[in-house]
Each structure stands twice: as C-alpha cells, then as structure tokens.
C-alpha cells in the first residue's frame, strides 16, 4: 500500500510540474518601447537569440539612429564571435537585423506580442499613461515588463488591468555585455509570469536574479547608498575624492572608484534615483539628499556626458 501511495504521489507531482511548465508563456515575439541605449540593447539581444522584435519610439529619426547603433554593436559582437569566419559574422549580423522591425505606433503592434518591455524615460506619469493605453490593445496573454531602475513596479502595474501579468525586468548597461537581469515580482505578479520571465532572461543568455518590489531592487539598493556615503565622507573632509577612489580600487578590487562611477553613470541619474527613494521613505538615512551632488546637478555638471562632474573631462 505504501508503495502504491508513493507511486501515486510521484505521479501527481510529475503531473503538477508538467502542468505548471505547460502554463508558462514561451516568449517568441517581443515589443520593446523606447529606442534609446537600453531599449536598443534589449532589442539587439532578443533578436540575436531567435526572438522576433518590434522596436518602438516616437519618430523614424530616433528609430533609424537606434538601428544604426544596433548594427554597429552587432558587428563588434560578430567580430569576436566569428573571429575566424568573416562570412559567418556577416550572416549573423544580417539575420539578427532581419528579426528587428520598427514602428512609431505602439498600440498597433502589441496585439500580437508575447512580451512588452518598456524602456522609456524614468517618469512615472509617462510610463503609467503608456501602460494604460497599451493594456487596451495587447492580447490577454501578453506580459508587461518595465526596465525601470528606480520606480516602483507595483505603481506601474496598477495602471493596467493585468497586474498578474506585470513585472520588472531590469537590464544593465551595456545590455549586450552585461549578464545580469533583475526580475522583479510584485505581490500581484503570478508565478506563471515570474517563471516565464526567468526563462526569457535565460534564453537571452543572461543570468536572472529574483527580487521583490523594493526601492532599487538589489544592485542599485546596495550601490547608490555606497556611492552617497563616499560623497558624504568627502563632504565631511575626512578624505579626498581621489584618495577614496584609489582606496576602493586598490583595497576592494573595484574597477572604478565611487566618484569615477558616479561621473560615468551620470550625476543627474543618481540624483533622480535618490530623490525618488527619499520621496518614498523620507526617514531612511540611506535616502537623504546629498548637497554636493545637488550642487553639481544644478550647475549642469552631470559627469562624463557633460564634460564635468566630480572630475573634469576633455
């Protein structure tokens, strides 16, 4: 009897696992909203791994620039991947580009997609308006995901009627090179959606990590307070920015010091993240405003992209 019971339990367990797997969405068709650096990178890696991609932005000029950027990036990848096979490199680039189409009308293309990945400007109202509009046109099975690095996924999901099919999918820059993807599960995200996004991330050749919908997720939640503490250390006159950078490179083995990294990321971007967190939790000491950072941003000194931040660049 015990043997029969064990066999029955195993059978039921196998059936349940198979049923759960069968329910997952196999993502084949992807719509990426936003043709900037992140959106173009996501479109590139999706197309390069056998997915059909539609890249959407507001104008044809933006999309043409995105497409050129993708082609340049693909040629760099192909040069390394097919070092001994130039013909194979050309075929790889051509095949990947053929899997990417573009559109300026998001509503007209989401009806046949499995996954919508949003990668537009970090503005809650703009993102909510976009998701609310697309929710009316997308198929019932379609998963919505945001690439936001700082906004609450739950707030975005609440602009739609598909909270169970909504999650965060946070890629890192540059997308073709960075292996990590943070998959953010809200209290409303279904297990089916969550597992489908884990599978999709792996299909891209990425390493997904799971996180709940907490400010900054994993990487930024640890990184930004570290960067801000470096600035505060300098503000208090306890060490110079040069010595702090050198200490973290030689002492912790980091490739860049905190001030170098801040300039690389963009001081305006960091301030935006910190301000958003402070608005959500003003009493958290890790989220307090930083006078030095605020001053530089007010002076339009954003880091490398503007020619000056904590350091000057030629």
Q: 91 to each of 67, 69, 78, 175, how far by Cα in Å?
A: 17, 18, 9, 21
Q: 13 pLDDT exceeds 80?
A: no
- The answer to whether 35 is annotated as binding is yes
Mean pLDDT across the chain: 93
Q: Is 11 annotated as a binding residue?
A: no
Residue 173 counted as an annotated binding residue: yes
The two most distant CA atoms of the chain are separated, in Å, by: 80
Indicate if 182 belongs to the active site: yes
Quick: pLDDT tens for 234-272.
Answer: 999 999 999 999 999 999 999 999 999 999 999 999 999
Q: Do the annotations mark residue 243 as ligand-binding?
A: no
Domain chopping of the chain, boundaries? 25-212, 221-306
- pLDDT tens digits, 170-215: 999 999 999 999 999 999 999 999 999 999 999 999 999 999 999 9
Q: What is the model's pLDDT at position 10? A: 53
Pick the CATH number of 221-306 from 3.40.50.2000, 1.10.101.10, 3.30.365.10, 1.10.1040.10: 1.10.1040.10
- Phi and psi dihedrals of 254, rounded to 5? -75, 140
Q: What is the predicted pLDDT for the residue at 306?
A: 96
Residue, of 117 and 83, whose pLDDT is higher? 117
Query: Would you call 29 a catalytic residue per the annotation?
Result: no
Q: Tell whether the torsion through CA atoms of 32, 183, 271 and 308 is positive or negative.
A: negative
Q: Which residue has the tokens 């958290």?
A: 284
Known catalytic residue: 170?
yes
- Does 283 count as an annotated binding residue? no
Residue 237 among known ligand-binding residues: no
The position carrying tokens 């996924």 is: 153
Report whether pLDDT(38) > 70: yes
Residue 150 has what pLDDT? 87
Beta bridge partners, 166, equal: 144
- Among the options 66, 146, 147, 170, which is catalytic? 170
Q: Which of 146, 147, 149, 201 is catalytic?
A: 149
Pairing of strands 100-103, 52-56: parallel
Name the CATH code of domain 25-212 (choices 1.25.40.10, 3.40.50.720, 3.40.1110.10, 2.130.10.10): 3.40.50.720
Distance from CA of residue 214 to its chain's centroid? 15
pLDDT in tens, 215-244: 999 999 999 999 999 999 999 999 999 999
Please report the pLDDT score of residue 23 as a whole number: 81
Residues 6 or more apart in contact with residue 92 via CB below 8 angstroms: 48, 74, 77, 78, 81, 82
The strand order across the sheet containing 52-56 reads: 100-103, 52-56, 29-33, 115-118, 143-146, 166-171, 180-185, 207-212
The active-site residue, picked from 146, 147, 182, 201, is 182
Q: Choosing from 51, 147, 220, 260, which is the catalytic residue?
A: 220
pLDDT in tens, 93-139: 999 999 999 999 999 999 999 999 999 999 999 999 999 999 999 99
Percentage above 70 pLDDT, the chain: 93
Residue 111 is among the residues annotated as catalytic for this protein: no
Reported as a pLDDT band with limits 50, 70 and 90, residue 7 is: low
Residue 106 and residue 30 in contact, taking contact as beta carbons nearer than 8 Å:
no
Is 146 annotated as a binding-site member? no
Tell me how far apart the alpha carbons of residues 75 and 293 are, in angstroms, rounded to a whole number: 38
pLDDT for 197 equals: 98
């Amino acid at each position: 009897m015990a043997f029969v019971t064990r066999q029955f339990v195993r059978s039921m367990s196998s059936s349940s696992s198979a049923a759960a797997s069968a329910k997952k969405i196999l993502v084949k068709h992807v719509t990426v909203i936003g043709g900037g650096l992140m959106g173009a990178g996501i479109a590139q890696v999706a197309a390069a791994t056998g997915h059909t991609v539609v890249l959407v932005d507001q104008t044809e000029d933006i999309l043409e620039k995105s497409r050129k950027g993708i082609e340049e990036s693909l040629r760099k990848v192909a040069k390394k991947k097919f070092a001994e096979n130039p013909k194979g490199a050309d075929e790889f680039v051509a095949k990947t580009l053929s899997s990417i189409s573009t559109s300026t009308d998001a509503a007209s293309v989401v009806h046949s997609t499995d996954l919508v990945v949003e990668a537009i400007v970090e503005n809650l109202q703009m993102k909510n308006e976009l998701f609310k509009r697309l929710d009316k046109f997308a198929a019932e099975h379609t998963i919505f995901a945001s690439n936001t690095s700082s906004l609450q996924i739950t707030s975005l999901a609440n602009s739609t009627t598909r909270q169970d099919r909504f999650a965060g999918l946070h890629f890192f820059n540059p997308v073709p090179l960075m292996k990590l993807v943070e998959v953010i599960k809200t209290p409303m995200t279904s297990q089916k959606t969550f597992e489908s996004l884990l599978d999709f991330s792996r299909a891209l050749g990425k390493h997904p990590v799971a996180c709940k919908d907490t400010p900054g997720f994993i990487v930024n939640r640890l990184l930004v307070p570290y960067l801000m503490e470096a600035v505060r250390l300098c503000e208090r006159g306890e060490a110079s920015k040069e010595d702090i950078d050198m200490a973290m490179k030689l002492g912790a083995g980091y490739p860049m010091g905190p001030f170098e990294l801040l300039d690389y990321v963009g001081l305006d971007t960091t301030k935006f993240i910190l301000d958003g967190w402070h608005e959500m939790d003003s009493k958290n000491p890790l989220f307090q405003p930083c006078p030095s950072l605020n001053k530089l941003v007010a002076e339009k000194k954003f880091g490398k992209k503007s020619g000056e931040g904590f350091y000057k660049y030629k």
